[in-house]
Amino acid sequence: MPGEVKDECGVAAVYLPQKPDNYPLGGSAFYLYNMLLQMQNRGQLSAGITTFNEKRQQLIDTFKKVGTVNETFAVKIRPKAQSIMRKFSGSKGIGHVRYSTFGGDDRGSAQPFERHHGRKWKWFSFAFNGNIANFSELKAELEKKQYHLVRNLDTELILHFLEKEQVGEKETPMDKAFSRLAHKFDGAYNIVYINAEGTLAAMRDPLGNRPLCYSASDEFVGAASESVALANIVSNGIKPIKPGEMLIVENDSVEVRKYAESKKIAHCMFEWVYFSNAASTIEGKSVYQVRWNLGAELARQEKLETTGGDWVVVPVPDTAKPAADAYAHELGLPAMEGLIRNRYVGRTFIESNDRLAKIKEKFNVNKSVLDGKKVIIVDDSIVRGTTSKALIDYMREKGKAKEIHMRISCPPVRSPCFYGIDMSTIGELIANRHSSQEQLERTGFIDLEQETVDKIASDIGVDSLQYMTLAGLVKSIGISKNELCMACLTGEYPTPWGQALRVKAMERFGRGLETARTYE
């Protein structure tokens, strides 16, 4: 559901092997801008890049701002945008788009994080996508050694541990440094890294929780969180960086190396269901096709009698549209845009806790589609339910629908995420607010009792509600359930700290202490 759940960010890395004259103004900065723009879905809070230029006094230099990619790079002011490209022109670079699940919303919390040093190999910058689940333990370890975290960010924590790997008189090879860190970090952490010697790396954590892919040729080498960032740049194929692997550019040689063993693979199922751009491919699976499969599966599970001419299927724009189209196609029903998204609203200066006001800012109800109809609205997920309720109220108020039935292409979200999705407490999840204590304490997937589903339906104001089954989700993605992270659905976490944090979350919920994210 738009506005209910967010991923943390997206990362990118670029190496241009040929002479600067062979590339557009800005070189790596130009390509990073374009790659980040294609991944704007992964974060709209801030954007930034660090580029390397051996002819520049500032060998690596970082540019970042709060705002969207186009706001950051000032594309509406052509001379200013060109000035940014000139200043940050380079042959290599890394980039980041951010949505905050941890820390502040100011420029200082934006990524990349750069660490200055007199020695070139100790002067580095990095950005990451994910969440360090054992943040509190590692923070305590640093504090015992008189470290101080100014911003209380896991990004800041990673910075200090990377710094510790570069002590002494000799540079630590990248694969060895990250191998040691893999034994320290619990969670999800795709990292892009560059130093003032021009060493560039893009690494994927041993779980492979978040997507990361690359493409390499004699003209262009790039890595990104999503394939859509590379698709319009390269023509020689895009491959996934496997869990525990890193793409490294060192002394102008390009190599993919194994740096850590993968004891378990746990790809986040939400990447296919909601987060990723529909044009992306993850682990060889088309995001669009998976969403289409989910819609078709929902239709096969449908219990409503949908004969007659007064039924219409409406997607919640934009991520649920493939599922809605497939659902309608399977049942022979019309799929129509009963909700029109305002794609030009961008950021506003208005901050409001009024969920309905935010819905009206983002969507327009198309009354000509809804008036007097039995509406089946298809969405990808219900997390907290507040946005769903406001949207349904808006459709009833303005659309004058006769009935509204909701179909969700993801099973009920029952547990927090500690790997980079902004839902980390038990009580915020609508499925838990209507579940028994016994249901809350159980791990392993359980179908919600019909009574519970009916309570959720009543809460958000729909005539009926139906979720995707777990088996249908796994079938639609086409990857073994043993290689998917579905902890938010099952309560079974792929790492020890994930399991420990769920226990902590349950304790906090039971004592009424859910005032902050569980991992803080």
Task: Tell me the CATH number at 502.
Answer: 3.40.50.2020
Say whether 192 sits in a helix, a strand or coil: strand
Binding-site members are: 268, 319, 379-380, 417, 485, 488
Q: Which CATH number belongs to the domain containing residue 168 in this structure?
A: 3.60.20.10
Same domain, 213 and 330: no
The answer as to whether 271 is a domain residue is: no
At residue 346, the pLDDT reads: 60
- DSSP class of residue 322 equals H
Same domain, 17 and 74: yes
The answer as to whether 423 is a domain residue is: yes
- DSSP class of residue 41 equals G
Cα–Cα distance for residue pair 6/284, rounded to 1 Å = 23
Same domain, 238 and 310: no
Final residue of a structural domain among 265, 300, 328? 265
Same domain, 302 and 231: no
Helix count (H) and strand count (E) of the chain? Answer: 19, 23
Q: What is the pLDDT of residues 179-205, one digit of tens each?
A: 999 999 999 999 999 999 999 999 999
Cα–Cα distance for residue pair 220/229, rounded to 1 Å = 13
At residue 169, the pLDDT reads: 81
Q: How far apart are the first and last CA of the chain?
A: 25
Residues with active-site annotation: 9
Binding-site members for [4Fe-4S] cluster are: 268, 417, 485, 488
What DSSP element (H or E) covers 464?
strand 464-467
Can you read off the two tokens belonging to residue 319? 């991520």
Question: Which residue has better confidence, 208 or 354?
Answer: 208
Q: Residue 159 — pLDDT band, cuts 50, 70, 90?
A: very high
Same domain, 140 and 253: yes
Range of the domain at 66: 9-265
Same domain, 393 and 492: yes
Q: What is the pLDDT of residues 250-283, one digit of tens each?
A: 998 999 999 999 999 999 999 999 999 999 999 9
- pTM of the predicted model as reported, rounded to 2 decimal places: 0.93
Give residue 243's Cα distance to chain centre: 17
Same domain, 382 and 482: yes
Residue 350 predicted with pLDDT over 50 = no
Cα–Cα distance for residue pair 491/457, rounded to 1 Å = 23
Cα–Cα distance for residue pair 15/95, rounded to 1 Å = 12
Cα–Cα distance for residue pair 236/101, rounded to 1 Å = 35
- Number of C-beta neighbours around residue 250 at 10 A: 15
Torsional sign, CA 428, 429, 434, 439? negative
Q: How many domains does the chain have?
A: 2
Give residue 507's Cα distance to chain centre: 27
Cα–Cα distance for residue pair 410/474, rounded to 1 Å = 10
The answer as to whether 51 is a domain residue is: yes
> Which segments within 159-283 are labelled E, that is strand?
187-195, 200-203, 213-216, 221-224, 239-240, 245-250, 253-258, 267-268, 281-282
DSSP string, 478-498: TS-GGGEE-HHHHS--SSHHH
Same domain, 256 and 351: no
Same domain, 188 and 243: yes
Q: What is the pLDDT of residues 472-502, one digit of tens each?
A: 999 999 999 999 999 999 999 999 999 999 9
Binding-site members for Mg(2+) are: 319, 379-380
* Closest to 275 in 3D by CA, of 346, 210, 348: 210
Residue 85 predicted with pLDDT over 90 = yes
Can you read off the two tokens belonging to residue 336? 């129509």
At residue 95, the pLDDT reads: 98
At residue 351, the pLDDT reads: 47
Mean model confidence pLDDT for the chain: 92
Q: Residue 102 — pLDDT band, cuts 50, 70, 90?
A: very low
